[in-house]
Amino acid sequence: MSDPILAELIATLRANDLDLSDDPGPLRVAYEEMFASFPVAEDLAIEDTELGGVPSVSVKTPGSTGGVVLYFHGGGYVIGSAKGYRSLAGEVARAAGMDAQVIDYRLAPEHPFPAAVDDAVAAYRALVASGTAPEKIAFAGDSAGGGLVLAALLKLRDDGDKLPAAALLISPWADLTCTAPSIAAKAEEDPSLTIQGLEACAAHYLGDGDRAQPLASPARADLSGLPPLLVQVGSIEILLDDALAVAARAGAGGTMVRLEVHPGLPHVFHAFAFMLPQARAALDEAGTFLARYAA
């Protein structure tokens, strides 16, 4: 690998002992400790709040035009928090000239499917009810949060709500059947995720429920009638095919979709924009996309 910064990052990810198949309690603590080590820009104004009864973190960026990125964090529906993802959400919002709201949707196994979808929908409806027009709202999310973006959009579409202006999906986990070919094909390359971890999270979230149902696996759903989507994914991810499937389904349904596969980059590489130039460039591209429709 010719890029020393990327090589260092991948080596660090390989050395990380976080295993999504571990017990959720200790895993959540370790995950929060990892994110606490990431820098948070001093010019972000961060405040705990709530949307529709869902705890959230408000992130205001300098120069915002008043639009809002409603951000759904990753973590396999089992771990992660709004606080942990405040920096990533804030940088997405900054790049778009918007502010962010990061929601603390309920986590499995204590709160299985569809609790996360219900919370995402409730938060959006509360944001609209508070006076932010749908035209000024963009959804964004990474990993499981990327799948949740799609699930919330499908629920809102089917319920007849006016949809947000655009959405960003970062390395989305959007097929919880865990049968996509890239899960095996990319297993040796991916330094972050394993099939065992995905299977454990899917079991926590869905129990014995149908993993192929649309709001659990939106990569298998009818994705027509959605706002413009930007899908960004790294080429070495076991979830590569989830991103490809989402783009194909959305395009087949007549939804405007842009797919970016970033060569040699790992799962949710955007979180490392503080050290990785390719990640910063991807954030800038994402911001330009969202601003075109929502800012």
Of 73, 204, 262, 267, the active-site residue reads: 267
Beta bridge partners of 170: 142, 232
Count other C-beta atoms under 10 Å from residue 42's C-beta: 6
Residues 6+ apart with CB under 8 A from 165: 134, 135, 136, 137, 138, 227, 228, 293, 294
Q: State the catalytic residue, choosing from 91, 192, 237, 262.
A: 237
Classify 142 as helix, strand or coil: strand
- CA 147, CA 21: separation in Å to the nearest integer? 19
Contact between 221 and 154 (Cβ < 8 Å): yes
Rounded to a whole number, what is the distance in angstroms from the first to the last CA of the chain?
38
Catalytic residue among 143, 171, 192, 217: 143
Does the active-site annotation cover 237?
A: yes
The answer to whether 58 is a known catalytic residue is no
| Cβ within 8 Å of residue 28, ≥6 positions away | 78, 79, 80, 107
> Which residues participate in catalysis according to the annotation?
143, 237, 267
